[in-house]
Chain A
């Protein structure tokens, strides 16, 4: 492994490769603006995301971020503005995988679309932003990465220009996004005002300087939480999600609900473990900020799952389920003040990884259904298994995995999250409430997930359908996601270690 011989800035290669691919796509589009050679564009995009994935995996394997003589340790860039450690690489991997799956699936989904190159370059730019978010180590770079993610996302949601739903969703997303960004950036300014620094480690060292401005700092932290809650679609910053996911092209829904959410969470993990260590911050602001996450987690889980329970539209159900899952992952932040909290956070990170496969897969199945034009409600999906058994089997895997039914990946990550929360509850009893909420909501979620499986496999179709096409790209992406959902289980040893190590490294 020759990582050492590379210049230091190359540590950001996973993000830079995505950015470069976006530029290549722009270049191709400038050469021939009217080209709709979707195979070329999709191919380039897939290649770019896969190479980003490969580099991130290589770095992880080579030991970037890991301690020890043979490893390279954490790589600091630009005076601590960026940092490449295990946490960053772990999330770069998740983002690259989701991007690859989404771009593969988009090849078929966008078959009659005019703006091919724009679409892929926007996806890759957003992915670049997400990758940068994973590595950002200062509130400035974080904000820039955040906006780099958000702006292409707004455009992507509204990219079906002739579709009213898509345009309306894009606008709503943009408005809520603008409000949230404003809140976030105001929070940044308050934190800067209180501590006099933007770099995360410096904030931590300057916490005692805040002194009398504890309330101000607290308000700033709360506003940062607000901005992050927007990105992760957590209640009450979630209002954009159901409509954006529903209106957007289904691959974009998959992209936003998996990759964008993961990026939001890495931000949260990074900021709150590095800049605001629980004990030191509590001394200054007078309250344990994990309490905010406890409240957010419970409300998010409950609102997401309860709203999902009686939805008639499949995509909207998935949108709410994705809000519910954000609630589960928030437990990882809520437990940080307790002993063993880093294990809970590791479990939450693992859940994000598995979620990246199963949720992306589920949205891609919806993309497939939209491709077929069978309709949007549960009833429209009735009896699809007779015509598309493989895709429906994959969908059943996604649904059961999302619900947390063994032996699929979703069960193991949720189970680990649950047991670690119970363990940590020995130190902080309020976590018991979270564990209980997790169980109750998972039970409820089984109801609406299995409703979809029932529609696919048990119900008789309402209308006679013609033979359904089998688009290669979409099928490949769905099957790949299903296989990954299942095999994450045998691969769980190394994955679990990676997540737990990464979590332990940032918490320590």
Chain B
């Protein structure tokens, strides 16, 4: 159906505007407001959530919405595919994907705002108006990014998201580590965004449009170009789509902390834990994967790009999971789990499992927000101690925190029937199905599968060390109490983490033959949709063959059984090693491997080397070139000019006979030149 602006969709921009207003109010008047500006943020995000729900209802009612809000420039252009004009605008695209994401983002943002009352206000932090203002701007940026209808607008808000996370990670700017972590996050993601920007320009120059949806989109233009066998910038169309897609992917890998741009995320733990929850669950990191889902039609055109996405995803999932195993800081464990889980989403999207990827994105948003807020609650309990070896035995002292955290942990580990199981299983099943025909994908699947074991292990190692056993420090024996502002978001998210998986019970549906894969219907345009942006359309475009072991059902059961078994095995191993009254540091037994893992595979070291050993000398050389050659030329020019000036000045001697001689001499010189050329003396 055509995208038209009707009824409730007129309110769509308000979703982003509410937090923006809150940002302005808090920035200007935050100091004088009760709760230091938390209230405008809470009201605004609640409003955003409400309008987002209205959007979902409207989409469920069979509508979709695509409109241009403001065109800031338009003009003639020369594009490679022959489009003669190009325009850059701000627009709103509300389709099933963006409506779903809007709800996720505004829900998490609202809960984070509420939780902050307990985490920041109650703990007597200073600079709260700044905190809430930045939180508002962050939410605004992400929401506007989500409903962006074109790549350039998406890029702009993508950058704003990056800026806000820089500001929030560096919230405690008086410490030494927070500003450094903020800079690292900013620079690493900026490096990826550099490629993204080049990609945006390349796409605009190629197709003369940056729109996501409709006949005027670059996706459609690319499809036409491939069908017509057009040559773009000297490449055949598909290769060019791969190149530009991978350029944009640079931004995605940076934001979603995929290998090799993942190094900023663990350091980003220097920000307040609430900010970590927002960054990991719904905004910054989610932005990357969401962008892939948003322009999935484009990636679907290039099997090469998809395979790269899948492989990077599978690799990152395993790579990060192994590092999480040896971390002692509760937030560090969660940080690496985030990297690993986004790896799964990339894997899912990379094998063409659009629904699986989005499903995992949604579930992860809930359970990771839960885990982070839970970790925040633990940190409150422990008087700002984050080392798990100083915890223990918190289970009985804070049952609400424990049980909600456990729900999140079960979801993260992928234990049936918690939400994470269903989505992770679907990702792995899709990967297996494609992998049976494609060896590269099979390797990615294998890595993803092995990562399941590690996930189960590190998740429950964290749970057991934190909550079980005997208290291992004085603070653990007498924890700080937590208030309702902490508990309410935990309970809300705990419930979601437990039940969100029922949105798409694909294996059950397959076994029972029941139509209960609601999310798939949702994304496949059973309700409202925008032409071309449906699972169905994507599925037709993706060129991968699918294979099965036996039948589809047996493959599905096999895959589910395998992943559940591995997750349980991981959890059980953790149980054996750490669910004892006095757990020991078993990781030391790993020997050399422990050191490698503890140092994160020397990723930071080699990136520092890249900066100090390679870039710095290069920059020095460039600087020397600038100082000597460039400046030398400039200074030399002025020196020569001024000394030339002194010489010319001396022509004027003040003696009139000299003048007469020079005058006549000059005239004769001119005469000789012209006379010689004109042949007057012949």
Contacts and interface: CB of A to CB of B under 8 A. Distances in A.
Complex A-B, nearest 7 residue pairs according to Cβ-Cβ distance, in ascending order: A236-B666, A215-B680, A287-B678, A239-B659, A286-B678, A309-B645, A310-B645
A291 B678 CA distance: 11
A243 B680 contact: no
B644 A285 contact: no
Given A176-B663, A243-B654, A306-B648, A219 B641 contact: no
Contacts of B680: 214-215, 218-219, 285-286
Interface string A210-233: 000011001100100110000000
A219 B660 contact: no
A222 B651 contact: no
A292 B673 CA distance: 9
Contact of B641 (A218, A225, A306): A306
Nearest to B643: A310
B649 A310 contact: yes
A218 B675 contact: yes
Given A176-B663, A226-B667, A239-B662, A307 B654 contact: no
A306 B656 contact: no
Interface string A348-367: 00000000000000000000
Interface of B: 638, 641-642, 644-646, 648-649, 651-652, 654, 656, 659-660, 662-667, 670-671, 673-675, 677-681
A236 B677 contact: no
A27 interface: no
A172 B656 contact: yes
A222 B681 contact: no
Given A172-B656, A239-B663, A240-B659, A303 B648 contact: yes
Interface string A44-57: 00000000000000
A487 interface: no
Given A175-B660, A176-B663, A218-B680, A243 B652 contact: yes
B671 A311 contact: no
Contacts of A235: 666
A287 B670 CA distance: 13
A310 B674 contact: no
Interface in A415-449: 444, 447
B645 A307 contact: yes
Contact of B674 (A218, A239, A242): A218
Contact of A285 (B646, B648, B663, B678): B678
A479 interface: no
Nearest to A286: B678
Interface string A277-305: 00000000111010110011000000100
Contacts of B648: 303, 306-307
Nearest to A176: B659
Q: Please indicate which of the listed interface residues A176, A236, A292, A295 has the most CB atoms of chain B within 10 Å of its own CB.
A: A236
Contacts of B670: 222, 225, 292, 295-296
Contacts of A242: 652
A222 B671 contact: yes
13 contacts: A176-B663, A180-B663, A215-B675, A218-B674, A236-B662, A285-B678, A295-B673, A303-B648, A303-B651, A306-B645, A308-B645, A310-B646, A310-B649
Contacts of A239: 652, 659, 662-663
For the complex, would chain A's binding face be called helix, strand, loop or mixed by DSSP majority?
helix
Contacts of A265: none
Nearest to A179: B660
Nearest to A180: B663
B427 to A, nearest CB: 60
Given A214-B680, A286-B679, A292-B670, A307 B663 contact: no
A292 B674 CA distance: 7
Contacts of A408: none
Interface of A: 171-172, 175-176, 179-180, 183, 214-215, 218-219, 222, 225-226, 235-237, 239-240, 242-243, 285-287, 289, 291-292, 295-296, 303, 306-311, 444, 447
Given A172-B656, A307-B651, A309-B642, A236 B678 contact: no
A236 B663 contact: yes
Nearest to B650: A307
A484 to B, nearest CB: 31
Given A295-B673, A307-B648, A444-B641, A215 B681 contact: yes
B666 A291 contact: no
Contacts of A291: 673-674, 677
Contacts of B642: 309-310
A286 B659 CA distance: 31
A307 B674 contact: no
Contacts of A218: 674-675, 678, 680
Nearest to A221: B674
Given A235-B666, A309-B642, 14 more contacts: A176-B659, A218-B675, A243-B652, A286-B677, A287-B677, A291-B674, A303-B648, A306-B644, A307-B645, A307-B649, A309-B641, A309-B645, A310-B646, A311-B649
A306 to B, nearest CB: 4
Contact of B656 (A175, A307, A310): A175
Contacts of A444: 641
Contacts of A175: 656, 660
B659 A172 contact: yes
A307 B660 contact: no
Nearest to B664: A179
A248 to B, nearest CB: 16
Contacts of A172: 656, 659
Nearest to B663: A236
Contacts of A289: 674
A161 B678 CA distance: 48
Q: Please indicate which of the listed interface residues B665, B675, B680 has the most CB atoms of chain A within 10 Å of its own CB.
A: B680
A215 B678 contact: yes
A375 B40 CA distance: 66
Given A176-B663, A183-B667, A235-B666, A307 B678 contact: no
A55 B324 CA distance: 93
Contacts of B638: 447
Contact of B678 (A214, A240, A306, A311): A214
A285 B680 CA distance: 8
Contacts of B649: 307, 310-311
A292 B670 CA distance: 7
Nearest to A282: B678
A449 B669 CA distance: 32
B677 to A, nearest CB: 5
Nearest to B646: A310
B672 to A, nearest CB: 10
Contacts of B651: 303, 307
A289 B670 CA distance: 11
Contacts of A447: 638, 641
Nearest to B649: A307
A309 B673 CA distance: 29
Contacts of B677: 286-287, 291
Contacts of B652: 239, 242-243, 307
Contacts of A310: 642, 645-646, 649
A423 to B, nearest CB: 24
A243 B677 CA distance: 35
A306 B640 CA distance: 10
A15 to B, nearest CB: 30
B662 to A, nearest CB: 6
A376 to B, nearest CB: 16
A287 B680 CA distance: 9
A296 B667 CA distance: 10
Contacts of A306: 641, 644-645, 648
A72 to B, nearest CB: 40
A218 B646 CA distance: 35
Contacts of A307: 645, 648-649, 651-652
Contacts of B665: 236
A171 B659 CA distance: 13
A205 B664 CA distance: 31
Contacts of A225: 670
Nearest to A215: B680
